[in-house]
Each structure stands twice: as structure tokens, then as C-alpha cells.
Amino acid sequence: MTALAGRTALVTGSNGGIGSEICRVLAEAGATVIRVDRAHDASAVEGCHLLDVTDEAGWGTLAEMVAREYGALDILVHNAGVAVTGRLEDTSHAELRLSLAVNLEGPYLGTRACIDLMRRTGERRPHGASIIMISSIMGLVGGAFSTAYCASKGGVHLLAKAAAVEFLSLGYPLRVNSVHPGPVQTPMVDGIMSRYVEMGLYPDIASATRAMPRPLGRMTSPADIAKAVRFLASDDAAHITGTEIVVDGGYVAR
């Protein structure tokens, strides 16, 4: 498949379970992929660029590098995220601020830093450029023990919509959409399961994992998310902006 041949894509949180699969699928579709991750994870992949997505100046430096070395940015995938889990009364202000900073401020700062380059790139493409924000089903529905996470991912949902409407009103050739995964079998979800066990909600991780929703008989996979991203990045989604794709096997449709 070469649906993204000649396109340049930047993916944050590129070395995690979902991020690495997004990178693989976009590259398989022909895109040149710029991998971006925080210092702790970036050393695991050669050529990965270091970035704390909450660093405004860091985003500016990265955008300048992409413009200088690649000359274009067709696809921006905001995938970096953290999951703060716990009772509301036990969630500290610092944990709330971390969730909002990484999950919501990161996409905001990154989008702002890349607007000019993506607008210029989009003007050279028949169907413009594409920004894709990875939210969550918890950005659509409430979830116990996830108040900070829900708040941040709900913000991502409306950030994508508001940016899409604004860019339309300005005539920018930039589409913005969000993807909302259900529970995905990744190290992040494994960490959530461990936290549930620590809280005494389940006797062990195996029990916690079995309790996760599987409407179609299995948990959502990283590949499910990556394929949705590939679609939104492609010309097949040329008339889609300001909306969300829910990839959860039908969980929130109940």
C-alpha cells in the first residue's frame, strides 16, 4: 500500500505500544515518518527525536528542524500520553496537572508550533494536511478512578473539533480529527491494571485484565488504532474534519 507515498508524518509517543504501530503502518503506506518521544524512551530507537511534549520551546525547535530537513509536514499525530489512575480524592494536584500537561497541552502546543509549516504543506496537496489527536473513549464517557485522565482526554476531543472549525474559518488546508481507542493491550494499560490491583479492586492483574470490556470478543489492538490513523491521514478522508473515530469494538455504543 502506498496511499501516503511522498508524505511526511510526525508521531509523538512513537516508541510506545500504539505509537510504534502507528509509525509502522504509516511507513508501510509510504510515508516518511519522524519519530518523536521523551528522553527516557527515545534512546530505544535509532533516529528518534527527543521531545517533552509539554515543552513549548522544544516544539518550536522541532518544527524548525522538520521545516529545514524535510521541507514539509503532511501528517501530525499527537499520540504521547499518560494515564493517571486513582480515586478522585487520592489524585494529587500534581497528578492532575501532569495529565493535563501531557495529554492536552502537548497536542495544543504541538499543533500551534506546526501550523505554519503544515498550512504551507497543505497548500501544495490536493486535499491538504492532516492532524490526528489520539484521545480515548474516556474522552467521550466517564470512567471511575480516571477523573484526571477523562478530563484531559475530553479536552483533546474538543481541542480537535475547535481547531478544525477555526482552520476552516481561516481557509487553512488543515484537517483535524480525533481517534478514541478502547482499552488496548499495551504497557500503559498493564500499568493501569497494576494500579487497580494496588487499590484492591481486583485480586490480581489477570483478573483485572479479564474484566476489561471486549464487545467483539477481544481487546482493541494497536493495529486497530494505527489503521484508523492511516485512514484519517490519507486522501480517503479528504472530506472528514472536526469529527472523531471511535475504535473500541462498540463499547460506548451500548
At which residue does the C-alpha cell 520551546 appear? 57
Domains of the chain: 8-249 (3.40.50.720)
Is residue 149 part of the annotated active site? The answer reads: yes
Q: How many CB atoms lie within 10 A of CB 90?
A: 10
Per-residue pLDDT tens digits for 178-213: 999 988 876 666 666 677 666 666 676 666 566 666
Split at pLDDT 50, 70, 90, the class of 33 is: very high
Catalytic residue of the set 149, 172, 196, 251: 149
Instruction: Give the per-residue pLDDT at 215.
Output: 74
pLDDT category of residue 230 using cuts at 50, 70 and 90 = very high
* Cβ within 8 Å of residue 181, ≥6 positions away: 18, 134, 136, 137, 220, 224, 225, 247, 248
What pLDDT, on a 0 to 100 scale, did the predictor assign at position 122? Answer: 98
**Which amino acid is present at 194?**
S
Q: What percent of the chain has pLDDT over 70?
A: 86
Give the residue ranges of DSSP H helices in 54-204: 56-69, 93-100, 106-122, 147-170, 187-198
Model confidence, pTM: 0.92
Average per-residue pLDDT in the chain?
91
Mean pLDDT within 93-110: 98
How many of the other CB atoms lie within 10 Å of CB of 184? Answer: 22
